[in-house]
Structure 1
Amino acid sequence: MTPVTVPTTPDSVQVTTTAAQSVSSGLPDSTLVGIAVSVIAALIVYSARQAWERRKLRIALLTEVRQMNGIKKCADQMDGISTDPSSRPLQPDDVPAPNSIPTVVYENNTGQIGLLGSFFNTKELEEVVEFYSKVMRYKSIIEDVRNEEVSDADQEDLYDDIEDISLRRNQIIDSNSFIS
C-alpha cells in the first residue's frame, strides 16, 4: 500500500500511515480472535456430536444383530433338511417367523448410516450395508416361504446361503464389530 501523508500545521510533525495500520479501516484484533475461537469451538462441538451419534448408531445396530435369532434358527433348519429345495419345496414350518430377524433399527436409520464411514475409511459402512442387504433379502424370502409365494431360485438361495449369513452374524457378535 502507498503511504498517505496527512497535512498538518507548520508547527506540528508530519504523520505518515498505511491503510493496514489504521484501526478504523478494519476489525479490532480481539474481534478476529473471537471469531476464530467461535469457529474452532463450533467445529469441536460438531465433531463431538458426530462421534456420539456414530457410537449410538453402532451400539444400536450391534444390539439388533444380537437379536436376530431367526437367522440361526433358519440356518439350523436348512441344515436339518436332507434334500435340496429343488426336490422338495420349503414349507412355512421350515423357516422362522420373519419378526425373529429384526431390521427396524437399520431401516429407521438409513439416513444416518453414513455416520459409520469417514473420508478416509469406509470399511465399517460397507460391511454394515453388505450384511443388512443380505439379511433383508433373506428375510424377504422367509416371508415369501411363509406365505407360500416363493420362487424355486429364491428357495435354493436361502437353502444354500443362510449358513453364511449365520456365520457372519456370529463373527459380528463375537468381535462386537462389523469390521471383519
Structure 2
Amino acid sequence: MIPTNLARFSQRMATITLGLIVVMLLLNAALWCFPSLASPQGLGLGFALTDRQLSDRTDVVALFPWWQTLGGLLLSSVPLLALTVGLGHLRRLFQRYASGEYFSIDAALCLGKVGKAVALWVLLDFVCEPLLSLWVTMNEPQGERLFTISLTAATFVALFMAACIAIIARILREASAVNSENQTFV
C-alpha cells in the first residue's frame, strides 16, 4: 500500500469512527425512547448496558414516566461517554496518520488516551449497571427489584485490550522520541 492509499484509508477510518460515535449515542437514546426496538418482536436491537437492562423489560420500560426514562438514558450514557472520548482520540489518531504523522509523540499520546478511555468505559459500565438495574426496577413491588452486576469474558477482553493499547502507546512514544533524536543528528 503506498502512502497516499494509506492516507486515504486513514481518513476513511476517521470518518467511520465519527459515524460510529454518532450511531452509538443515537441508538442508545432511541432504545430508551422507543423500547419496542429492543424487543424480540420488534427489531431486537440492543447496545451494551441498555441491552442488558431492557432486553426482558421492554413492555415495562414503555410505561415509564418521562423522568425515569430520562434517568435510564443518562445512566446508560455515562459509560458510553467515556467510550466516545476514546473513539474521539482514535479519530484524531487516524487523522494524524492521514497527514503522515506516523512517528509523532502526539499520535502516541492519542493512542494512549484510547487505551485509558476503553479501561474507563469498562469500569463505568461495571459501576453503572447496578445503579441502572435499581433505577429500572424501582417501581416494582418489593422482592421484584433487581440489583445486577455482571462480569463477562468480554469485560476481561476489553480490559486486556485497553492494557495492550496503553503499552503499545508507551512503546510508540519512546520510538517517537528516539526518532526525533535521530532526526536532529541527521
| TM-score exceeds 0.5 | no
Instruction: Judging by fraction of residues, say which structure has more helix.
Output: 2
Q: TM-score, normalised to structure 1's length?
A: 0.30
Higher alpha-carbon Rg: 1
